[in-house]
A and B are shown apart, each in its own frame.
Chain A
Amino acid sequence: MNAPVHKEHAELASEFVNNRQRAKWHDSSLWFVRQKRDRQTQTIPEWEQLRSLASTIKQHTLAKLPYYLEEFERNATKMGAVVHWARDAEEHNRIVCDILKNYGAKKIVKSKSMLTEECHLNPFLEQNGIEVVDTDLGEWIVQLRHEPPSHIVMPAIHIKKQEISELFHEKLGTEEGNSDPTYLAREARYHLRQKFVQADAGITGVNFAVASTGGVVVCTNEGNADLGVSLPKLHIACMGIEKLIPRSEDLSVFTRLLGRSATGQPITAYTSHFHGPRPGCQLHIVIVDNGRSAIRASQDFQNSLNCIRCGACMNTCPVYRRSGGHSYSNVVPGPIGSILAPSQDPKSHGDLPFACTLCGSCSDVCPVKIDIHHQLLTWRRELAIKKIVPWTKRWSMSMASIVLKHPWVYSVGGKVARLALRVMPRWMIYNGLNAWGKQRDLPPAPKKSFRELYRQRGNSNGQESPSHKTNVSNGSKDLKG
């Protein structure tokens, strides 16, 4: 796909953090969700075991994916659903549009589905004269604002209630200046009820597709997905090939993990299991590849397909929390998005694996144990090999490599730097060239290098072996080794 040229993550992030108060508010909103997640996981003594089970089940399924896809198709068909296959976003959109047109559906209600966001289904349907309303409150808010979601679970997490109040006042005629969340949510309920009742078809995503039964499972809190598919007679469920699980009992593991990891809830308010259509109605399931099989072909990144889209890695990520979802310019932002996006398009999204401190918190909270931060590091190597990394980074890395390979260069460089930091005027040190000095001062330069201090210490302590000394000595031993 030819994505439009967009600003890099670092640039968008710096715009975001320029509004300090807002950035802080965003950071603490997400940290609040992370803490709720922690409290919930601590109520389950077998939490770590569940993570291991989930990881094993997903690994097994991915390894036998063609087998389970066929089994799912067979059983879903037996239940009365119609299964469609789409190689890419374009094919997916065309299939959905054709189903709707054949049925004569003009008004559609859609619940949250990151896949349909990824495929840009809404604009495609609108071009074809079909009205689509996103019925998840957060999704509806971003739809009314004509912007993409900034988080996969909480699409409007970046928006303040005063802004929602203004938006609703303008678009729905709600009271001016009333930004009470209960009032605003009630108004949304009232307006969307009309949409539900008038809808010709409902579109949903899929959280889990069960191969052994041919059913699809959808998890929501608002009840919008269920309302949207139990009023009209046509239900279209769109899923990526990676949504499969082998058996219905595997849901016992995933339903325990999903809500707790996502929002710190014991379970979502609604966990709906659809097997076939309602009598006299239609259920269509569209299975989409759109680059997923290419990710499966890569041994380095294949297990990123195990993701169940809980968003826990975003809520915990120090970079995501402080830069906002839109800075990633990808439907799935945050740590997992930074693995998936470059797989789809390394040229446009090559900046994302660098939007990471490698702190590893994402891997710690991931309910299916994806080694997210390791994969991000691997991506950096891949991008460097492919020369998709900007020249500044490549140049500084090759310089660093020279310095670290030659101890004398290191030693001379250190001397020069220590002297320079002491004698150079401030404007020469802190300017546009020094990205690290933008928001912080460097520590005062020491008079002597570590090696000089170590040598001195060795002399004053006579013949004693360094290995019996403090951590400092051990550290230096490691450095030499």
Chain B
Amino acid sequence: MKGAREEILNNLRKQIPMETPALPEVIQGEWIRYANPVEQFANLIAGVGGSCQTVANRGEIQARLESYPEYRDAKRIYSQVSGIPSHFDLDAIDQPQDLEDLDFVIYPGQFAIAENGAVWVTDQGLKHRVIFFITQHLVLVVEKKDLLHTMHEAYARIEFQKPGFGLFISGPSKTADIEQSLVIGAHGCRSMQVYLVEG
């Protein structure tokens, strides 16, 4: 194994030096800015089969969720958002496979991106990252002040100092592998809602 590593690297080092342009600045730039980022974000989430609502405070979210029959009928809910109760203690679950029947996950997003309708979540303090993918329905809660314009602002905020998992999610899982017909709900969640909480 050591052999392959040395051989590949030595091969590359022996090659004729290539022209090396300097690494460009990618965070600062004349990037697009939206007059109404909330509207832009909501439109994009709707465009990829999700939904976005604005609420005055976190306390309102529970009532909004109650208006969905899927939520009212949900047998197993996991929430990491204060004010919305969980049905069980995630830390008490040993095997992620035991989460197969998860119906709803309500989780805080660190920030959201107006240009593409994506929300950044991480598994910091989360025992089973599979909840984002195995749940039937996903609800993400983001502070309105954390709505950014572009991915450049996003990556300016993200740090990967220690092991962990970070994820941009944009809409429910989907596939167009059968004749380019869009089907919502491939292997991951079948629905996704985002709640933007006013300052």
Chain A positions near chain B (C-beta within 8 angstroms): 29, 32-33, 44-46, 49, 53, 56-57, 59-60, 62-66, 69-70, 73, 79-80, 84-87, 91, 95, 135-138, 141, 154-157, 160-161, 164, 181-182, 184-186, 189, 192-193, 196-197, 210, 213, 215, 221-224, 226-227, 230-231, 241, 246-253, 255-256, 259, 263, 265-278, 287, 289, 293, 296-297, 299, 302
Contacts and interface: CB of A to CB of B under 8 A. Distances in A.
Interface string B156-199: 10101011111111111111111111010111110000000000
A246 B150 contact: no
B16 A297 contact: yes
A29 B21 CA distance: 39
Given A227-B133, A231-B97, A33 B163 contact: no
B15 interface: yes
A300 to B, nearest CB: 12
B152 interface: yes
B177 to A, nearest CB: 4
A270 B173 CA distance: 8
B13 A66 contact: yes
Q: Give the secondary structure class of B's interface.
A: loop
Contact of A221 (B11, B155, B174): B174
Nearest to A296: B15
Given A267-B117, A296-B12, A249 B4 contact: no
Interface string B85-129: 000000000001100100000000000010111100000000011
Given A59-B18, A249-B155, A296-B12, 13 more contacts: A44-B115, A56-B23, A59-B20, A85-B1, A241-B12, A252-B151, A266-B117, A266-B118, A267-B113, A267-B151, A270-B188, A271-B170, A276-B164
Contact of B155 (A223, A252, A275): A252
A189 B186 contact: yes
Contacts of A80: 163
B35 interface: no
Contacts of B189: 223
A276 B123 CA distance: 12
A87 B151 contact: no
A160 B27 contact: no
B69 interface: no
Chain B contact residues (Cβ within 8 angstroms of A): what range?
35 or more
B164 A60 contact: no
The 7 closest A-B pairs by CB, nearest first: A223-B188, A276-B163, A222-B186, A138-B177, A266-B116, A223-B173, A181-B181
Contacts of B32: 44-46
A160 B20 CA distance: 47
Contacts of A248: 155, 158, 160
Interface in B5-54: 5, 7-9, 11-13, 15-24, 26-27, 29-32, 44, 47-48
Given A138-B177, A189-B185, A46 B31 contact: yes
A91 B31 contact: no
Contacts of A213: 160
B81 interface: no
B155 A85 contact: no
B139 interface: no
A137 B186 contact: yes
Nearest to A160: B179
B136 to A, nearest CB: 11
A451 B49 CA distance: 63
Contact of A63 (B7, B17, B128, B185): B17
B130 interface: yes
A263 B154 CA distance: 22
Nearest to B182: A181
A249 B29 contact: no
7 contacts: A138-B175, A185-B183, A231-B130, A250-B26, A252-B154, A267-B116, A296-B12
